[in-house]
């Protein structure tokens, strides 16, 4: 198991954001995390990569207990993340942004090696021709790719992708999906939050469903879309399920 | 190293080197005094730039390191008869250590809260110097005339302090460049742009910020010692002048924060302007008001400063202007 989340609970004041969440992620899989808005998906990411410490429970990464470790310690152990709300380092060029990932990620590369790694990661996500531009000049789709390149350049064991498809148009989604598949084929383990159902269903090996901070279902895409609880909480409509599986 | 060949590095270094050399060749007291003031502010502004420009933390009390380092160095010099250079180095080291301790406490704060804390520290340091009897309390300390003897009298001693200042200024600019073009510096820039995202990418922000704070305190500590040696005395009112902190900010912002050349350009421009204002009757008492106005105008219209503005307008100059 590359990641084990055990009985994780997170409260913000009176709000129970995560209740007793437990799951395992084996190496080499893509695990999709779905659920309605406010279900606690991003909070779960924040607990896993050390932005928040959980109130209870443990996070085990590659056999090591990383519960409550600061996010930079988690990053160096080989976990990288692409944010839902893109966070480019505006004044830095696209290449410099990705170099930060390479310099301070798992491999901790030096500048020259990081620059080479950055160029490779940018080529992989299709941003090579933008390398020397300030990252603030990119459009939303390009910023999403930049987030992905930054995470990839860290050469992590585990990649956390938080809605990298959100806000993209259908053709951008299709090309981003190709990129993600290619990344998986290189052997990265991926945990992804996604709202674009066709995408997450077609790409994930397994799906977790979170609702009001509680894990209400987990299993293969087929199992999950046919689960009555999931249909009620999230998908909303049995016919939608049929459509999803047909596509 | 390829970076060493770059013009962006050689330009500021060559300017400072030739300038200092010219002052030595001309061997004129007035020229030396003017250069001393300018070099001092260039080094102070370049030091502050490591914190303000690279790391993105606004310190309104950076002069505290000039004051405390200067006080400590001057104490060794005047009370324990240490030679000038070791005293200055000790002043720099103590400044860095104080910055390290302070940094661990106040670098947890962000934005306006950090800025407010730095103002408080300046006042606290002044109160400390006012009441600490080994440092002479409110009257401060004086230098014995005999302290100038190893340099061949007061005149040559002033030349010696100028030469040390010249070397320290060159060293500060060198460090500023090396930091900017290092892996460590990339981490600082990432912190400046988005500290939380930087940490998610693996930048050890608490440690990096503390080291940046310490680096930005070394130069002021050494320069404080030289400055008070040149003056022959040190007292709390001279050592901890809040308005000098603000003037340092104006210099960095004016020249272009986050650039190597900017603080140099900003310091020269601002000191020149201040000299003009101080000698013009209408503005005599208003030079700080003008400084405030300049700061306001820069922040509103040219937040990147002169060098940043040119870099964004004239792409081919980017290599030449760091």
Q: How high does pLDDT run on average in chain B?
A: 91
Q: What does the pLDDT look like over B40-91, one tens digit per residue?
A: 999 999 999 999 999 999 998 899 999 999 999 999 999 999 999 999 999 9
0.95 surpassed by complex ipTM: no
B212: closest CA of chain A, how far (Å) = 17
Q: Which helix (H) or strand (E) holds B137?
A: none
Q: Which position has the higher pLDDT, A55 or B2?
A: A55
Quote the CA–CA distance of B301 and B293 in Å, as a whole number. Answer: 12
B313 touches chain A (CB under 8 A): no
Which residues make Cβ contacts (< 8 Å) with residue A244, sequence separation at least 6? A197, A198, A201, A225, A235
- Specify the DSSP element, H or E, that contains B258: none
pLDDT tens profile B245-282: 999 999 999 999 999 999 999 999 999 988 888 888 88
Has residue B235 got a pLDDT over 90? yes
Q: Which of A76, A87, A105 sits opposite B194 (nearest CB)?
A: A87
Give the pLDDT score at A91: 87
Among candidates B113, B99, B4, which has minimal Cα distance to B48?
B99
> Is the separation of the CB atoms in A112 and A160 below 8 Å?
no
Model confidence band, residue B35 (pLDDT cutoffs 50, 70, 90): very high
Identify which of B182, B194, B202 has the shortest CB distance to residue A76: B202
Residues with Cβ within 8 Å of A158's Cβ and at least 6 positions away in sequence, in order, are A2, A3, A25, A61, A78, A79, A80, A188, A189, A190, A191
Asked if A70 lies within 8 A of B186 by C-beta distance, the reply is no
What is the token pair recorded at B143? 């230098």
Do A59 and A5 touch, CB atoms closer than 8 A? yes
Residue B182 forms contact with A (CB below 8 Å): yes
Q: Which residues of A touch B189 (CB under 8 A)?
A: 89, 91-92, 96
Per-state percent for chain B, helix, strand, coil, to nearest 5: 80, 0, 15
Q: Do A89 and B190 lie within an 8 Å CB cutoff?
A: yes
Helices (H) and strands (E) in chain B, counts: 14, 2
With beta carbons under 8 A apart, name residues in chain A contacting B183: 103, 110-111, 114
Chain A closest-CA separation from residue B179 CA (Å): 12
Which two structure tokens, joined as six digits, stand for B26? 């001309």
Task: Name the band, by pLDDT with cuts 50, 70 and 90, for residue B128.
Answer: very high
Cβ contact A87–B186 (<8 Å): no
Closest residue by Cα to residue A8 from A46, A57, A45, A49: A57
Probe site for chain B from A72, A74, A114, A116 (most B CB atoms < 10 A): A72
Say how far apart CA A231 and CA A226 lie, in whole Å.
7
Name the A residues in 85-104 with CB < 8 Å from any B CB: 87-92, 96, 99-101, 103-104
- Within an 8 Å CB–CB cutoff, is residue B52 touching chain A? no
- Which residues in B lie closer than 8 A to residue A75 (C-beta atoms)? 199-202
Look at residue A94 in the predicted model and tell me its pLDDT.
94
CB atoms within 10 A of CB B29: 10
Q: Given an 8 Å threshold on Cβ–Cβ distance, is A89 in contact with B198?
A: yes
pLDDT tens readout for residues A98-154: 999 999 999 999 999 999 999 999 998 889 999 998 898 898 889 999 999 999 999
- Our CA angle for A15, A19, A23, nearest 5°, is 145
Q: Quick one: closest CA in B to A135, which residue?
A: B193
For residue B227, give Cα distances in angstroms to A163, A179, A213, B59. 57, 60, 62, 21
What is the pLDDT, as a whole number, of residue B295?
A: 84
| C-alpha dihedral, B283 to B286 to B292 to B295, nearest 10° | 20
Residue range A6-41, pLDDT digits in tens: 999 999 988 999 999 999 999 999 999 998 888 999
Residue of B nearest to A111 (CA): B183
> Which CATH class for the A1-77+159-164+189-247 domain?
alpha beta
What's the pLDDT tens digit per position in A184-196? 888 899 999 998 8
DSSP designation for A162: E
Element (H, E) at A141: helix A140-153
Q: How many angstroms separate the CA atoms of A133 and A188, rounded?
A: 28
pLDDT tops 60 at residue B2: no
Q: Where are the domains of chain A?
A: 1-77+159-164+189-247, 79-156
Contact A90 B193 (CB under 8 A): yes
Length of chain A: 247
Identify the CA nearest to B240 among candidates B25, B30, B60, B2. Answer: B60
Give residue B10's pLDDT.
86
Query: How confident is the model at residue B97, as a pLDDT?
Result: 97
pLDDT tens figures, A34-76: 988 889 999 999 999 999 999 999 999 999 999 999 999 999 9
Q: How far apart are CA A103 and CA B189, in angstroms?
A: 13
CA distances from A72 to A63, A107, B56, B205 (A): 18, 13, 19, 8
How far apart CA A152 and CA A175 sit, in angstroms, is 17
Quote the CA–CA distance of B292 and A129 in Å, as a whole number.
43
Q: Which two tokens stand for residue B267?
A: 């310091």
**Does the pLDDT at position A246 exceed 70?**
no
Give Rg (Cα) of chain A.
18
Residue B203 gets which letter from DSSP?
A: -
| pTM of structure | 0.91
CA distances from A126 to A5, A143, B159 (A): 33, 11, 59
């Amino acid at each position: 198991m590359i990641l084990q989340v055990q009985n994780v609970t997170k409260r913000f004041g009176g709000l129970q954001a995560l209740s007793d969440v437990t799951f395992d992620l084996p190496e080499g899989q893509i695990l999709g995390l779905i659920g309605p808005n406010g279900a606690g998906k991003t909070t779960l990411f924040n607990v896993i990569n050390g932005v928040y410490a959980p109130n209870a429970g443990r996070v085990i990464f590659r056999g090591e207990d990383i519960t409550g470790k600061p996010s930079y310690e988690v990053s160096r152990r080989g976990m990288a993340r692409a944010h839902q709300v893109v966070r480019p380092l505006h004044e830095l060029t696209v290449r410099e942004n990705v170099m930060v990932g390479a310099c301070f990620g798992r491999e901790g590369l030096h500048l020259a090696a990081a620059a080479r790694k950055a160029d490779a990661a940018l080529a992989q996500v299709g941003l090579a021709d933008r390398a020397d531009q300030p990252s603030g000049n990119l459009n939303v789709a390009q910023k999403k790719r930049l987030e992905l390149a930054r995470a990839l350049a860290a050469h992590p064991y585990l990649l956390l992708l938080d809605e990298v498809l959100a806000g993209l148009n259908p053709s951008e989604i299709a090309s981003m999906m190709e990129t993600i598949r290619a990344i998986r084929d290189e052997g990265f383990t991926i945990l992804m939050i996604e709202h674009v159902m066709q995408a997450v269903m077609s790409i994930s090996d397994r799906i977790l469903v979170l609702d009001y901070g509680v894990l209400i279902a987990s299993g293969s895409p087929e199992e999950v879309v046919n689960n009555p609880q999931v249909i009620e909480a999230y998908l909303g409509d049995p016919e939608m399920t049929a459509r999803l599986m047909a596509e | 190293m390829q970076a060493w060949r770059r013009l962006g590095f050689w330009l500021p270094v060559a300017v400072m080197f030739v300038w200092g050399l010219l002052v030595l060749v001309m061997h004129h007291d007035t020229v030396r005094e003017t250069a001393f003031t300018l070099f001092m502010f260039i080094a102070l502004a370049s030091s502050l730039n490591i914190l303000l420009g690279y790391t993105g933390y606004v310190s309104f009390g950076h002069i505290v390191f000039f004051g405390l380092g200067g006080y400590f160095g001057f104490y060794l010099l005047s009370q324990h008869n240490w030679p000038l250079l070791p005293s200055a180095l000790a002043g720099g080291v103590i400044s860095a250590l104080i910055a390290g301790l302070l940094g661990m406490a106040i670098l947890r704060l962000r934005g306006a809260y950090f800025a407010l804390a730095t103002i408080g520290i300046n006042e606290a340091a002044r109160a400390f110097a006012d009441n600490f009897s080994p440092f002479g309390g409110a009257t401060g300390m004086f230098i014995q005339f005999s302290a100038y003897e190893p340099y061949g009298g007061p005149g040559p001693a002033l030349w010696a302090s100028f030469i040390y200042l010249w070397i320290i200024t060159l060293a500060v600019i060198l460090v500023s460049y090396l930091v900017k073009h290092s892996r460590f510096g990339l981490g600082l820039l990432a912190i400046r742009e988005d500290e939380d995202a930087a940490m998610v990418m693996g930048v050890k922000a608490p440690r990096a910020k503390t080291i940046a704070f310490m680096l930005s305190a070394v130069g002021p500590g050494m320069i404080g010692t030289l400055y008070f040696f040149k003056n022959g005395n040190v007292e709390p009112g001279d050592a901890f002048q809040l308005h000098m902190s603000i003037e340092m900010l104006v210099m960095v912002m004016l020249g272009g924060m986050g650039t190597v050349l900017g603080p140099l350009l900003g310091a020269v421009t601002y000191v020149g302007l201040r000299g003009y204002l101080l000698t013009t009757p209408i503005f005599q008492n208003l030079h700080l008001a003008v400084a405030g106005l300049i700061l306001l105008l820069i922040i509103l219209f040219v937040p990147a400063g002169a060098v940043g503005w040119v870099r964004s307008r004239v792409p081919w100059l980017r290599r030449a202007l760091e």
